[in-house]
Structure formats: C-alpha cells, structure tokens
Homo-oligomer: A and B are copies of this chain.
Amino acid sequence: MSEILVVGSLAYDSIQTPSGRADRALGGSANYFSLAASLFSKVRVVGVVGEDYEQKDYDLLNNRGVDLAGLSKVPGKTFHWAGAYEGDMNEAKTLNTELNVFEHFNPQLPEHYKDSSFVFLANIAPELQLQVLSQVKTPKFVGLDTMNLWINIKKDALLEVVKKVNLVLINEGEAKMLTGASNAISAAPMITAMGPSAVVIKRGEYGFAMYTKEEGYFILPAMPIPTVIDPTGAGDTFAGGFFGYLAAQKTVPTVAALKQACIMGSMMASHTIQDFSVKALAKVTLADLEKRLTEYKKVITI
C-alpha cells in the first residue's frame, strides 16, 4: 500500500440547506478527503488550524490512522466558510469566507511525508499547491482540484500546476471556466491537452465524466439518492474515495483502475450528501460501500 499526501483545508462550516442547518460543523477539503481515503489507504495531511480546533476533530482522523504530523496549530481561528443551498443542490452560494489562519498558510512537509507516492492538491491557492508538490521527491500520481476564484485571479499559476499533475478533478462549472468550453464533453480533452493524462469532471447529481488520453470518455450517473441533505464535501469525498482506492492497488494506476476509482469515489460521495457535515461519511464502512455498489450496478446495467 502506498501513502497518500493531501494538502487542503480543515474548516468549520456553517451551512443552510432546504433540510435544515449546521453551525460551525466540521468541514474542509482535507477532512472529507482523509475520511474517505483512509478507508482504503494510509493518508498524510498537510494543513493548518487555529486554536479553536477541537480535540474531537483531531481524534476523528487520528482514530482512522491518518498521519497529522503535517497539521500545524497556530494562533488565531480556524478557516470558516458559510454557505447556502437553495433549490439547485448542485451549487452552493457562499455567504461568508473567513480565511483566518489559512491566510498565512506556508505548507512545510515533515521529512517522512516527502516519499509519498500519491499526492492530492485539494482546492487551495495554486502557489501553495506547487510549494507542496515541489517538496515531494518522486510522486507517482498527482491530482489537483481548484475553484472559480483561482481560475479568475491566478490562472497562470494554476496552469503551471496543471502541467505537473496526472489528474485534474474539478466540477463542471470550473471545467467550462478553465477552458472556455460550453460543456463538459468538449472541456475534457482541452484539459488533458494542458498536460494531465486524465481529467474527472464532477457533475453533482448527474455523476461524473472522466476523460483519459489513452481511452477517451468514461461517463456514469450518480447513485440515485432521493433526499439530499447537504451536498457540501461531496467533491472532496469523491476525490478521497478515488485516491484511497487507487493507492490501495498493487500496480501503477491503469485506466481500468481509474475507472474503478471513479466508481468508488462516487459511492463514497453518495453517503456524504445524506447528512450534514462529515456525519454520514464518518460512519461509512467498506461493507456499506459494497452494498451500495451492488445497488448501483443494478441502476446502470442494461
């Protein structure tokens, strides 16, 4: 088994959805990613939290064997995001973002992180993604996520990182924004033309579209979930399931393994959306995933 290094946010989120609300609940890409990936593989986190970060939130990852040596606690408050979903559950409206301790985040890898084989650069400023990646000696497979903000204000730096990764894993709106394409299908090969050998475009309730230089499109719908409680973290969960599965394989990632990884990410994300914050995700077992996968295969089998 190979270790996965993830850099991203550890946060408290305040979320409103048609089903209710959660105040200062645990969130952040690194949390969702690590909870999902640690079901399959060993995970190492790089990140920063403030003095208000609670012990139980450390423990959640600690108890899953996640390495937190690269997680620093500094004076100030933890990153806080407030958002709301109305009607269209595929996209959150950001109500407030307080960077707090994240504003001066200067990621330094503990020595033993530097031999990580798998690296996931979750959605943070592209310069920080590059700073992390440059400290890893011989990464075998690197993926990145990003967001509209960085595409708007730091596109050049972002394209520098995109060139260096094997996989871009972004949502549909970002894929269109990054490429200028009018749909995910035409955006996908434009993204692999920027460097990566694969791109996975997350389509929320519609599932995902992967495109690889080697084999072209691989597209499937999401698991049908009638009641979506809180979609926050679904994309990071997908990434965690994807990388966790991939890193647990014995071989170098093949396209066949990437396909399976998409499915696993998708099954994992279908749990996250069934409760607020990381509540549903934290409880998921491998048996739950197997069961859901069986149901899913019925849904997509001709």
Task: Enumerate chain A interface residues (CB-CB to B < 8 A).
Answer: 18, 87, 89, 182-186, 189, 203, 205-207, 209, 215-221, 224-228, 259-260, 263, 298-300, 302
Which B residues are in CB contact (< 8 Å) with A182? 18, 87, 89, 228
B217 touches A219 (CB 8 A): no
B219 touches A302 (CB 8 A): no
Q: How far is the CA of A287 from the CA of B267 in the complex (A)?
A: 36
Asked whether A228 and B183 contact (CB < 8 A) given A219-B221, A221-B207, A221-B221, the answer is yes
Q: How far is the CA of A68 from the CA of B183 in the complex (A)?
A: 39
* Number of identical protomers: 2
Asked whether A226 and B300 contact (CB < 8 A) given A206-B203, A221-B207, the answer is no
B205 touches A224 (CB 8 A): no
Which B residues are in CB contact (< 8 Å) with A220? 220-221, 300, 302
Asked whether A224 and B185 contact (CB < 8 A) given A203-B206, A206-B203, A300-B219, the answer is yes
B226 touches A186 (CB 8 A): yes
Give the residue name and chain of the B residue nearest to A187 (CB).
B226
Cβ contact of A227, chosen from B18, B186, B226, cutoff 8 A: B186
Q: How far is the CA of A215 from the CA of B224 in the complex (A)?
A: 14
Cβ contact of A219, chosen from B18, B87, B184, B299, cutoff 8 A: B299
Which B residues are in CB contact (< 8 Å) with A259? 302
A299 touches B221 (CB 8 A): no
Asked whether A217 and B224 contact (CB < 8 A) given A18-B182, A87-B182, A302-B259, the answer is yes
